[in-house]
Amino acid sequence: MATQQIVNKSGTNFSLYYNVLNYFRTIMKNHPSINHVTQGDVFSIDGVEFPTYPMSNIMIQNATFGTKTTDYTIQIIVADKNELLANESNGTDNKQDIPFYGLDEAVDIHANTLSIINDLTSYTQKSVDGFEINGDIDCTPFLDRFNNGLVGWSSTFELTVHNDKNRCLFFLINPSGSGYQIEDCETGDLYNAVLETSGSIGQVFASKWVPSSKPSSIFESYDNLRCFTILKEVNDFDAWDFSNLPILAIPYEDFETCENCELWTSPKIWNTTPETWDIGTETALRKWQYT
């Protein structure tokens, strides 16, 4: 079975539900003693026969948003198929030395599945940046919990991940002031925007935020400079493409023409890039220098 690579870096946005599920799915699949991985409500595995065992199940039971964190209540179940021991089994014939004689493999399975849970939670605690397990890890054994003959352990713990809670991703309330229709100088695309500061009709300004190709996200990048022209006011509108779009003075708030704006936002030589606008003589003029 091909293993998946775990990347231990805090840059992964583990506040996303999908990323947390995918993390546990990955470490479960990579564990040498787990042969099948599922997710969801524990009742969904009741009565289900899985192709291979031992199996594991991950479920996020609860989520709490803190100031800069998301706290998840995680439940992990690891179980194996309980088999009846043959009547002739004895201490010399069994593969495992079972401390207490029984009619099935429940003791062996409880020992093995608890060890697997210890592996999964220890790895999460010690080897992954961006995760923190708060408090103790509660583990409960089960024998007759399901109708499919499974025996194992259920563990529950609190997992804390970072959540920067960026409030600029979406504008969820219709702004009380007027907005504007703006035109992208480069593409000619039209957008409805609420500006961070007041603008005027015909103004050409530069901004760092660019439209996203995904309708579910308003801002795609904070790295690119774009030029826009204000065409007209827009009132009584609630489907804004931009909210709080900044007008950057680099060095002008109104470039008057798209050509002049793009000259500043796309300099042709190194010593006129934004990093050097405030260095040297005639910084407000930024005359071109050809070599």
Rg (CA), the chain: 30
Residue 53 lies in a domain: yes
Give the pLDDT band of residue 279 (cuts 50, 70, 90). low
6 pLDDT above the threshold of 60: no
* 155 in the same domain as 40: yes
CB 242 within 8 A of CB 194: yes
Residue 168 lies in a domain: no
- pLDDT (0 to 100) of residue 76: 96
Nearest to 183 by CA among 224, 230, 239: 230
Residue 86 vs residue 168, higher pLDDT:
86
Burial (CB count within 10 angstroms: exposed 0-12, middle 13-18, buried 19+), residue 275: exposed
51 pLDDT above the threshold of 90: no
Residue 136 lies in a domain: yes
- Domain hosting residue 117, numbered range: 17-162
* 207 in the same domain as 74: no
* 202 in the same domain as 127: no
- pLDDT (0 to 100) of residue 2: 40
Please state which of the ranges 60-64, 97-101, 198-202, 213-217 shows the lowest mean pLDDT.
Answer: 213-217
The number of angstroms, rounded, from the C-alpha of 178 to the middle of its chain's C-alpha atoms is 34
Q: Which residues have C-beta within 8 Å of that of residue 131, sequence separation ≥ 6?
A: 14, 124, 125, 159, 160, 161
Residue 193 vs residue 183, higher pLDDT:
183
Residues 257, 263, 264, CA angle at the centre, nearest 5°? 100
* 28 in the same domain as 146: yes
Number of domains in the chain: 2
105 pLDDT above the threshold of 90: no
CA dist 258 to 183, 224, 262, Å?
Answer: 10, 16, 6
Token pair recorded at residue 190: 């039209």
- Find out whether the peptide bond into 51 is cis, omega within 30 degrees of 0: no
* 116 in the same domain as 44: yes
Rounded to whole angstroms, the Cα distance separating 80 from 106 reads 9
Rounded to whole angstroms, the Cα distance separating 230 from 202 reads 5
Residue 47 lies in a domain: yes
- pLDDT (0 to 100) of residue 169: 46
Residues 63-77, mean pLDDT to the nearest whole number = 90
* 85 in the same domain as 145: yes
Residue 282 lies in a domain: no
Nearest to 9 by CA among 127, 164, 166: 127
Domain stops at, among 137, 162, 187: 162
Rounded to whole angstroms, the Cα distance separating 52 from 47 reads 15
* 114 in the same domain as 34: yes
| SS3 category, 202 | coil
262 pLDDT above the threshold of 80: yes
Please state which of the ranges 11-20, 131-140, 241-250 shows the lowest mean pLDDT.
Answer: 11-20
